[in-house]
Chain A
Amino acid sequence: MATDVNKKKKSQAAAVWRRLKKNKMAILGLVILALIIFFALFANFFFDYDTMVIQQSAALRLKPPSAEHWLGTDEVGRDILARIVHGARISLPVAFITIAIATVVGGLLGAIAGYGSKRVDNVIMRIMDVFLAIPSILLSIALVAALGTSMTNMVLAISISNIPPFARIVRSAVLTIKNEEYIEAARAIGASDKRIILKHILPNCMAPIIVQATLSIAGSILAIASLSFIGLGISPPTPEWGSMLSTGRQYFRAAWWVCAFPGLAIMLTILSLNLLGDGLRDALDPKLKN
């Protein structure tokens, strides 16, 4: 019985992968993302953190791109490429953590709302409505403003502002699945609510969650960069892309490369996640595809 289920899951995943493989754009996204993750993982192998990312050098101030410094140097003579590569070590994990938190919290809230009594549902969803009424970047800004500027607070702020969509997705999935016969059957044989939620309902709404999570990670990367850019996120000298843009602002009229390349890094990362997310949506729900 259990192996049957596993087999079925495996073949489902294989079918999704087969469809995804056919989508050139999604594969492009996947390749770009893999490259970014690869460089992030082995950043220290390519560029030493202390000597290339942090150490300043007056002689190398604002040098344009050259054979030695492919993307030029910044206002204190640090190699921009090295900083961008090390920047990925911050943006990617932070974005991933924020969305992981949002998925778990949002998913649980949604499951409780969808599965619980009408009253519980109402309370949770009205609160979500209120959060949805504030544009997410504004909510993050307000939260960071209140909590104070720090990495932890930023993670918290971005996580909270990403909760509502996950709650909505899981809730509506639960509501549609809840009354299906196999859930009633599970209840009839005496499965507990917790078991029904965890074993039956959550696995069934994985597809929209995966898509939303992929696209939300892209959004989170943008939010991290945005907050850092206005000085409410990660502050220098940590090589975060948004904060690189923020400090670069003072010099970029004379030295365009200090801003151009960190921004491109943000765009490329978001682009790859968007491509992958769109591809996953098509692959997971072939009905929706034109």
Chain B
Amino acid sequence: MYKFILKRLVMLIPVLLGVSFIVFSILSFTPGDPVEMRLGENYSEEAYNAMREEMGLNDPFLVRYVKYIVDAVQGDFGTSYRTSNPVVEELAARLPNTILLSVVAMFFAILVGIPLGVISATHQYSAVDNVSMVGALFGVSMPNFWLGLMLIVIFASGLGWFPSSNFDSWKSIVLPAITLSVNSLAMITRMTRSSMLETIRQDYIRTARAKGLKESVITIKHALRNAMIPIVTTVGLQFGFSLGGAVLVETVFAWPGIGRLLVECIKLKDTPVVVACVLVLATMFSIINLCIDILYAFLDPRIRAQYKTAKR
């Protein structure tokens, strides 16, 4: 098992190198002169050349990339063109907010979505099922930034229950978290329902019923446990999407997270911060996928056995 985790961690390295290479090369071709951004309006030619040399921009592309990676591994993602602060500091200030927002949103989506999906499946074609499936359909189709705006109109400007921007109390997280969770909530509900419908038709559910178990025990212990694999897969994917979605939701709610930082820095052409933001988000995405793979093993002894025997 540990071997498997270790192997997957090692396999993560080339993927992340690839991601960093793509992001780094994409953004190296960004138009605009970073030196000018650092120096501002008035500068001498010597100062310009000195700065260019200092920033390593005279080196060939590959050298710059390798240098970047070597530094990045040591925790140095360069210096922001915009603020001249180390990029790491900028990220450190924002990253926890994004993680908090995503985790709260996913927690909400799981807590509501799975029970809703289970009830929909065990009461197929009932009122609860119909309402939650129509709701889920809208939830999947809804642009989250638009939902955010609508929630602000209703609950912030209209009713005044929650603040619409910034982050100063627990109330501030309510609207952005709901906004960010809606797509995931809808997807998780749909997946839970269809996966449960699949499992409750299985023979072992009939066996469980023939044992005299209570319906609730049959549903949760026997059916849901078996239905979890696709649900967990969806949760993982949605977690990843929510990191992408955070970019928009943070923009709507002026949430001081990494997504908003990313958008600001793209507009200001602060390339080092942009590269770092994308890298961090992609890394988190990959790590979540890894966690999902490991979770499979806990859910299904057959997969656990595969992991144990897999020799490569």
Contact = CB atoms under 8 A, between A and B. Distances in A.
Interface of A: 126-127, 129-131, 133-138, 141-143, 145-148, 218, 222, 225-226, 229-232, 242, 245, 249, 252-253, 256, 259-260, 262-263, 266-268, 270-271, 274-275, 290
B256 to A, nearest CB: 16
Given A137-B248, A142-B26, 13 more contacts: A133-B18, A133-B282, A135-B240, A142-B278, A145-B30, A145-B266, A146-B29, A226-B145, A231-B267, A249-B149, A256-B150, A267-B146, A274-B140
Contacts of A275: 137
A225 B141 CA distance: 13
B152 interface: yes
B157 interface: yes
Contact of B149 (A133, A231, A252): A252
Classify chain B: how many residues form its interface, as a range: 35 or more
18 contacts: A130-B15, A130-B19, A133-B286, A135-B244, A142-B27, A148-B31, A230-B251, A242-B143, A249-B252, A252-B149, A256-B153, A260-B150, A260-B153, A263-B146, A263-B150, A270-B141, A270-B143, A290-B197
B245 interface: yes
B64 to A, nearest CB: 15
B23 A142 contact: yes
B172 interface: no
Given A138-B278, A253-B153, A266-B146, A143 B15 contact: no
A252 B153 contact: yes
B243 interface: yes
Nearest to A138: B244
B193 to A, nearest CB: 10
Contacts of B281: 134-135, 138
B192 to A, nearest CB: 14
Contacts of B197: 290
Contact of A259 (B22, B26, B149): B149
B288 to A, nearest CB: 11
